[in-house]
Each structure stands twice: as structure tokens, then as C-alpha cells.
Amino acid sequence: MVVSELYNNVFTGPGERAALNRLFNTFFKMPLYMAQHQKAAGKPPTLAEISEQFRFAVPGQADVMLRIMESDPRMPRFLARDAATGEITSVNVETILAHPRFGKALERTIAGWEGRPAPAFRTTTYDGQPFASEALAGKAYLVYFWFTGCPPCVRTSPLLAELDEAYAAKGFRIVGLNADRVLELPYSDGDRAAYAKKHGWTFTLAHMTAEAQETYGAVSVFPTMFFVDAKGTVVRHFVNFQEKAVLEEAVKAALQ
């Protein structure tokens, strides 16, 4: 059965279309995520981490997605897995970089951010006010890309509140760019406000635009973090959850 036949003639309801779109988008984001994780952590992600990142709620779903990926001729052969556990044992980043579909996107997300000028961006805050990165000139800051239903973001959220409380007085700023609208996720302004209140966020909260997403390397894995110093230079770039000690070290590097 051709996928287009399923999409056009079988699964035609809005909910079915949304589910298919999510699976399709996830399928082609997974190689990028695995390569980014390998590059950042020095090891492949676990099945649990893949499930967390892509909100796979059904037990075994990550394994099934990987099996489909391994059998799809469009996919480069970039990973090896343990036959008994299904866990990924290695990810060949160079193979993904060499692939015509994934190479350019991956190169933008993993290569050379630290030491480069932070891209400018314009957006609107939750209350509809315009916000531009020019307001951060001369300050050390974090640009934090996240979405409301992201499990690694939930783990990161209280850490950001603690860092904001500890370092705001020293001039450090945090801007949270929420991706719900671009990702077409079913969260309202009320949901986002409740999330911020629950986690004690008092820093700047705004909407990620498609332009900001593209400018920062086509961010596709959440959370993604760019720590910037007062000169406007990216000093640390992280993908996925990081422990507090790692984030605090990045704040200090930005403030130096």
C-alpha cells in the first residue's frame, strides 16, 4: 500500500491526518536526533530517551520505529543495535552527514555553533508584545527552545527557574521560545501560562517563529539551548536534557 493512498483515501479524518503527519515527521527527525545525541553525549540515546524525546507512550514503540527505519531503503545504514535488547550500540554520524536528505540539516544543527555570533530574531511574547534579540545586547543570556508536552523540557524546567533566581541579579537573562504553534500542538495560551506558573518561571516567554527556528539551525530536537555571552557570541550549545551542573557551568561561561 502506497503511503499516499493511505493519506488521501483511507485516513482522511482530522485526527487521523494529524497522527499520520506526526509519525511521518518523527520518522525523519529520528536520525537527526540520534546523531545530535551521539555528538553531544558521546554515546547513542537509549530506547527510553528516544521515547521521551518523541513522546512515544506505547511500550515498544521506539523499537518498532527503529525496525521500520532499518528496513526502509530511503534511510542510510547508520546505526547498530544489540540483538537481545534492541538498544542502539553505535551511531555513525558521518554516514548521516553524507546522506543527501539528512546531511545539510544535521550539519547546521551540530557543527560550529560555539564561537559564532548568536543569530538575531524577532518574535512576540505570550501577551502579544513584540520582542527582539536586540533587547539582549550587552547581556549574557540563554535562548531556550522548547514545547509544552516535551518530557525532557519538563525535567529541565525547574533547573531553569533555579538558575534564573541565582543569576538574574548578575545580569544573566533567559528567553524561552515555545514551539507549540510552529509544531501545531494542541496547547492553548492558558496551558502555557499554567506551565510557567507551575515551574516558577519569571523570565521572558515568547513564541518560537519558523524564522527563528530556521535561523538557529532548523531546531528539531527539544529542548535546544544556546548560551550567549555579553559580546553576542555563542559559548555553549546543548541538545536535550542536561544536568544542573552542566547548565550552571554554561551560565558562568556566558557571564565571564
Task: For residues 252 and 103, give the distance between their C-alpha atoms in angstroms, rounded to a whole number.
Answer: 33
Task: For residues 35 and 79, give the distance between their C-alpha atoms in angstroms, rounded to a whole number.
Answer: 10
Task: Report the relative pairing of strands 140-146 and 224-228 from DSSP bridges.
Answer: antiparallel
The model's pTM: 0.74
Task: For residues 188 and 15, give the distance between their C-alpha atoms in angstroms, rounded to a whole number.
Answer: 18
Shortest CA distance to 232 belongs to which of 141, 117, 146, 142? 117
The residue assigned the cell 554554561 is 250
Print pLDDT tens along the chain (256 aa).
455 566 667 777 777 767 666 676 677 778 888 887 887 778 899 999 888 878 788 899 999 989 988 888 878 899 999 999 999 999 998 888 888 777 666 655 555 678 999 999 999 998 889 999 999 999 999 999 999 988 889 999 999 999 999 999 999 999 999 999 988 888 998 899 999 999 999 999 999 999 999 899 878 788 999 999 999 999 999 888 899 999 999 999 999 9
**Phi, psi angles (nearest 5°) of residue 233:** -105, 135
Interval 152-172: pLDDT, tens: 899 999 999 999 999 999 999
Shortest CA distance to 75 belongs to which of 90, 63, 65, 84? 65
The residue assigned the cell 487521523 is 16
| Nearest-10 crossing angle of helices 14-41, 47-54 | 130
